[in-house]
Amino acid sequence: MEKMNRGIITALSAIGIAQALKIVTHKTVTGEWDLKQIATTGGQPSSHSAGVSALATYIAANKGSRHTETALATIFGVIVMYDAQGIRRHTGEIAQLVNDLEDNFAAISVDFPSSDFVERDKELKELLGHQPIEVLGGAVLGAALGYFSAKLEG
């Protein structure tokens, strides 16, 4: 472990912790334990945000805020977080509309037996992105873990 890059370990740990916390937040919201949440996209906190925030904070704590590596990690992180709560979330919303449309069409096609409608076996995945609060939750978690990791290193 000592030979591995501490920044990578910090970022991957933040991602893992965020994914594990999704089990707890799912339980809080639904009242049910669901271990499959550890492998899902979307949800609270954003593991994407946790990972990039942990890396950027770790680098900033070690190199300083004016260092080029800090700038690269920060800009990379902002792009990832914007994408997680923007494009990916909207893709999930579109998937939900398509699934609803298919369900409605299936219900209507019963009245029209001559239609050649064939339902898909599997619906489109709807939970792809994050709400802004989930991105913020991941960013705060990641920043705390990145800072803690840098301080532990010395």
| Cβ-based neighbour number of residue 97 at 10 Å | 12
C-alpha span between 40 and 53 (Å, rounded): 20
pLDDT at 1 over 60: no
The residue that leads in pLDDT, 108 or 17, is 17
pLDDT at res. 118? 63
pLDDT at 90 over 60: yes
The residue that leads in pLDDT, 113 or 154, is 154
H-type alpha helices, the chain = 6-30, 47-63, 68-85, 87-109, 132-153
- pLDDT tens, 32-81? 898 888 887 778 899 999 999 999 999 999 999 999 999 999 999 999 99
Interacting residues of 73 by C-beta distance below 8 A, sequence separation 6+: 52, 55, 56, 59, 60
C-alpha span between 108 and 70 (Å, rounded): 56
- pLDDT tens, 105-116? 666 666 666 666
pLDDT at res. 50? 97
Q: Across all residues in the chain, what is the average pLDDT?
A: 84
C-alpha span between 99 and 69 (Å, rounded): 43
